[in-house]
Amino acid sequence: MIRRVRSLLKKAPFERKDNNLNEIARDTVELLLRLATLREIDLGSETVVDELRVKCDRIQLQQVIINLILNAMDAMSAVPRAQRKIAVTTMRIENFAEVAVSDTGPGISTDKVEMVFQPFFTTKPQGMGMGLSIARTIVEAHDGQIWAENKTGSGAVFHIRLPLSGTSRFRDRDVRAWPFATYCSAPRSRSLI
């Protein structure tokens, strides 16, 4: 089944166009604001001021971000209402654009953090374990990387990193090993909705 879904995604014609990752992130947050309000979750975005141009299929990338936000909402169901927060942030790191989705939920068990993108792995009683596996396939088809980690304190953060338009692909580089100092301290546009 996984091979079929991945094969379908690889064969499906991508509409890879030059898009601003900031716009995709903000539009996705806007799309899910009503659901966040119904679930009593503070959902906001913080984007860098400069454009983050990436060659991507906007719909597919938006689906990945939606999946990450919905997973974050589900992860916080037992968290007190006043502490339920999801932040969608963008940043530029060298020749790459990154979007991160972080929450204030319980985080991911350290023994399971490397398994979350495996097919059929789920922590939800009703989950199929397909969402993050498909998300990884989509991101990798865009020459990007996706990974998860726990935040200090509580919560998890999922990162998607894509090459900026006109730059080289990842090749064999593992961006998680890059030093934190490579993060750019560019001015940000904040939307706490």
Q: Is 61 left (phi over 0), alpha (psi -120 to 50) or beta?
A: alpha
pLDDT confidence of residue 12: 58
What's the length of the chain?
193
* Range with top average pLDDT, 64-78, 100-114, 121-135: 64-78
Inter-helix orientation angle 131-141/58-75, to 10°: 150
Give the pLDDT score at 45.
95
| AA identity, residue 50 | D
Q: Give the confidence band of 115 by pLDDT, cuts at 50, 70, 90.
A: confident
- At 166 the pLDDT is 82
Q: What is the pLDDT of residue 138?
A: 92
Predicted local confidence at residue 180, as pLDDT: 33
Distance CA 60, CA 66 (A): 10
Better-predicted residue by pLDDT, 109 or 65: 65
pLDDT score of 168: 59
Question: Quick one: tokens of 82?
Answer: 């006043």
- pLDDT beyond 60 at 11: no
Indicate whether 139 pLDDT > 90: yes
CA dist., res. 120 & res. 122, Å (int): 6
Please write the tens of the pLDDT for every residue from 36-93.
999 999 999 999 999 999 999 999 999 999 999 999 999 999 999 999 999 999 999 9
**Could you read off the pLDDT of 19-30 as tens digits, one per residue?**
999 999 999 999
pLDDT of residue 111: 82
Specify the pTM.
0.79
> For the segment 156-184, what is each residue's pLDDT rounded down to a tens digit?
999 999 999 987 555 444 444 333 333 33
